[in-house]
Structure 1
Amino acid sequence: MSKTFLAIGECMVEMAPSGSGTYVMGFAGDTLNTAWYARKYLGEDWSVSYYTAVGTDQVSNEMLEFLQAADIDISAVRRLEERTLGLYLIQLKDGERSFAYWRSQSAARCLAADRCALDASLDQAGLIYLSGITLAILPASDRTSLLEALRAARRAGAQVAFDPNLRPRLWENAETMRTCVTEAAGVCDFVMPSFEDEITHFGDADPKASAERYLAAGAGMVVVKNGPEEVICARQGNLRAFQPKPVSNIVDTTAAGDSFNAAFLAEYLTSENVEDAVTAGAGLAGRVIQHRGALVDCLEPA
């Protein structure tokens, strides 16, 4: 297995509240967050890469410099002159976040438009990571192309991990979202949903039902996150539940799921031990949510 962790998606300009009435500019996005944390958790024998499309303007240049400074390979990133980066603003209330987005000219919407570039980016990957947002921002034909490329990559030996990250406002309609996410799950070795999303948009009775539904779609392993409640890890004929340690002093839940996914996958790729992977994922997520913003240096206990 190639030791390259490749994340596919959209890196955006993030405007995060500083706590004093002002906002701090950074760069983040669900799959970028996971790549950033994976780089910190994976050993030096692993490389971490990011595949997306950006503009040729100054803010795009700054984002690429940010990725390089984080030791994330950007060699496959596409540059599009007529596009730029999307932007989002975080709003916080009682530790919970909501978002406002500006992304109509986001270059990342074109990330799968060039099939040759897409295939080349996947060619050396050992683990390919994407989310429902990756799919949602693409035109329908490009979603199909991306899933075809992932199937080809799996036949060549890569593994695929997927967080459904259900965001209906990004999709044409809720039915399209459910259909595409279910199809994507069938292409994946790891599906890592959040139960809050699944009960809202699929109507699952409990996390076990979410796990069983994604297994039925063809997923290899399903890891259902559920805030402070049990994490469900399931394969066909094997379901286990793990209780994370409680977390106090929750400041900002941004990137909780993204960071969990990163540490879980990093540990599992190394040890293939599910319990250790859940412990790593829950431990990192628990530390992240005690800080503001998506990307925080908190590998050690808070």
Structure 2
Amino acid sequence: MDVVTIGETMTLFTPKESGMLRHAKSFSMQFGGAESNVAIGLNRLGYQSRWISRLGEDEFGDAMESFIRGEGVDVSHVTRDKIAPTGVFFKEFRRMNDTRVYYYRKESAASKMSPEMLNEDAISDATFLHLTGITPALSKSCRDTMEKAISLAKNSGTQIVFDPNLRLKIWQDEESARHFIKMYAAASNIVLPGLEEAEFLFGVSTPEEYVKQFHSIGCNTVIMKLGKEGSIISSSSVPITRVKGFTVERVIDPIGAGDAFAAGVLSGLIDGIGLHEAARRGNAMGALVTMVNGDSEGLPNRRDLELFMNGNMIDVMR
């Protein structure tokens, strides 16, 4: 197994009309979650991934598990909850470059994840364990699950990749968010922060200084997202270096770009192509996803990714 990831995925309702959500009359049903997006992105590129979560014993849970399994992701460690429901969320395309997201996930099945869900077989065969800062914000039992996953990964030699993926609305308070995100980042081999997350953790500074701050708390490898500017990389063997991004003429839906970036970076690390090229692949994945509506719908296959990275966009759009 190349990558195992743990976290909540929800049923996503997207209005077919632009404008305020109150005026929407019809919706399409999709699925979205940072961890499953990463798993799907990796599978589309030809890698093996496993997604671990807890779903409600309901129609949304059935549809979601079927969809993710259909993408080739291993869902054998997904459990069901007979009482708590599968979470849902809504997107709102108010106007150009103004996409808003509304979550209805309190007391969801995924918030009931517990350490008992995880056994050694769930993680020990993986090269990487991918975690985000969303999961520990959901509940105390989810934090306990994260800690067990980290412990299992360290015992089996699985490398831990952590994306802070800050969602302040679901944290109890800012201080708790800051404490736990720093703790999980320090326990990881590789951290994938964004600029806003770094500012939240360390205050106003430059990207290069943020990278040094992450190193100072124990992060060996830092790959920071800089939006359309690309990313910045650093490790014990690689000096702080900026990696140029890819130009996108029109952004349709920016949600999920960070997850695509993570999938691209992980694919590069699996291939052993070096930190710079792995970040470049992540930049390309993130750019491609913004051109398609949906969390996972824009994740490319390997051929389309290579064409885009080589500047053959016209072939990708055929």
Q: TM-score, normalised by structure 2?
A: 0.87
How many angstroms apart in 2 are the aligned matches of 1:128 and 1:82? Answer: 29
CA drift of 1:100 comes to 0.7
Matches within 5 A, 1:161-200: 161-200=161-200
Matches within 5 A, 1:10-89: 10-19=8-17, 22-41=26-45, 43=46, 46-89=47-90
CA drift of 1:262 comes to 0.3
Residue aligning to 2:271: 270
Q: CA RMSD in A?
A: 1.9
Amino acid at match of 2:150: L
Over residues 175-231 of structure 1, what are the superposed CA-to-partner deviations in whole Å (9 max), with x where a residue is unaligned?
A: 000000000011111110111332245424122222222222212211110111241
How many angstroms apart in 2 are the aligned matches of 1:118 and 1:83? Answer: 23
Aligned partner of residue 258 in structure 1, secondary structure? helix
How many angstroms apart in 2 are the aligned matches of 1:96 and 1:122? Answer: 38
2:106 aligned residue (87, 104, 107): 104
Over residues 140-199 of structure 1, what are the superposed CA-to-partner deviations in whole Å (9 max), with x where a residue is unaligned?
A: x54145224313322321011111011111111000000000000111111101113322
How many angstroms apart in 2 are the aligned matches of 1:124 and 1:228? Answer: 35
Over residues 66-87 of structure 1, what are the superposed CA-to-partner deviations in whole Å (9 max), with x where a residue is unaligned?
A: 1111111111111111112111
The number of residue pairs the alignment matches comes to: 295
Does the CA contact (< 8 Å) of 2:252 and 2:290 recur in 1? Answer: yes
Gaps of 5+ in 2: 19-23, 309-316
Between the aligned residues of both structures, percent identity stands at 24
Aligned partner of residue 228 in structure 1, secondary structure? helix
* 1:142/1:253 CA distance change after superposition, 3 Å: closer
How many angstroms apart in 1 are the aligned matches of 2:161 and 2:241? Answer: 19
Does the CA contact (< 8 Å) of 1:132 and 1:165 recur in 2? Answer: yes
Does the CA contact (< 8 Å) of 1:199 and 1:206 recur in 2? Answer: no
Does the CA contact (< 8 Å) of 1:54 and 1:77 recur in 2? Answer: yes
Aligned partner of residue 134 in structure 2, secondary structure? helix
Residue aligning to 2:220: 220
* Farther off after superposition, 243-252 or 182-191: 243-252
How many angstroms apart in 1 are the aligned matches of 2:127 and 2:230? Answer: 29
How many angstroms apart in 1 are the aligned matches of 2:79 and 2:38? Answer: 20
Aligned partner of residue 229 in structure 2, secondary structure? coil
CA drift of 1:258 comes to 0.6
* Farther off after superposition, 274-283 or 17-26: 17-26
